[in-house]
Amino acid sequence: MTDRYAIIGNPIAQAKSPALQTAFARQCGQDLEYGAILGEPGAFAAAVREFQAGGGLGMNITMPFKLDAFELADELTPRGRAAGAINMFTFRADGTILGDNTDGFGIVRDITHNLGVSLTDKRVLLLGAGGAVRGTLLPLFEEKPGEVFIANRTGSKATDLVRGFADQAGAIKLAGGGFADIAGHFDVVINGSASSMTDDLPPLPEGVLDAAELAYDMAYRKEPTAFVRAAQAAGAKQAADGLGMVVEQGAECFFLWRGIRPDTAPVITALRIA
């Protein structure tokens, strides 16, 4: 029988996961079917259980259900727990649900694998203190940067993240504050702030992007985002949006479900053209 997977969200028509997972399955010779489910408010758990009972093996979760997924999972991976939100389920043979978050992995892999930028010993600036940034921290720490500074409009939210992740950071210098507290040169600047969703710019101090090795926007659009345009104009060596992250997080899900890591390069190219 063909193995079944799906993504659930509301709205769902814009989801790229069906195209991604179908492309991965074709490339890797896997017999699977991947659909999309429009979840209704208040009925998330019922929809998940129905899909699981019908033989579904795994699920992706997109907005607005990532927090509901966190609560529904029977067990959480360390990165899923750290993120505080879940974007993938694996339905296990005993009926339990394992929740994970592959978004942060996707960002880090896109940076290191596709863009060729090492994060080891680098000074990294993270903009924003929401779920996207929170989910990036553990995968980022695994690359052993020298320093990570988290900046947010409300500085206390950034310092709360610093306190919450101090133990996991280990020897990495971890600090945070408001945008006005940003100081000095950063090798890598990652924009995960709310400005990514509205194509605006966060209020960065003068010169932050000028000499960056990489300026990376978690958001992506058909045309370069405001953050990417600003980085290019400032003279950053490389500026990129988050399309590669979307593909890489999906590839990590595919790997965890199927045990095969697909080649993401042709999929990223196809999506960029589309």
Task: Tell me if 69 is assigned to a ligand binding site.
Answer: no
Question: Is 10 annotated as a binding-site member?
Answer: no
Catalytic-role residue among 66, 122, 144, 222: 66
Q: Which of 86, 40, 31, 37 is closest to 249 using CA atoms?
A: 86
Which token pair is 271?
């999506």
What is the C-alpha to C-alpha distance for residues 52 and 232, in angstroms, rounded to an integer? 46
Is residue 157 annotated as involved in ligand binding? Answer: yes
Residue 55 is labelled as binding a ligand: no
On the CB side of 120, CA atoms within 13 Å amount to 3
Tell me if residue 66 is catalytic.
yes
Task: Answer yes or no: is 5 a known binding residue.
Answer: no
242 annotated as ligand-binding: yes
- 56, 4 Cβ separation under 8 angstroms: yes
Contacts of 148 (CB under 8 A, 6+ apart): 124, 125, 126, 137, 140, 141, 169, 172, 173, 174, 175
Q: Is 131 known as a binding-site position? A: yes
Q: Is 87 annotated as a binding residue?
A: yes
Q: Which residues are annotated as a binding site for shikimate?
A: 62, 87, 103, 220, 249
Write out the catalytic residue numbers: 66
Q: Which residues are annotated as a binding site for NADP(+)?
A: 128-132, 152-157, 218, 242
Q: Which residues are annotated as a binding site?
A: 62, 87, 103, 128-132, 152-157, 218, 220, 242, 249
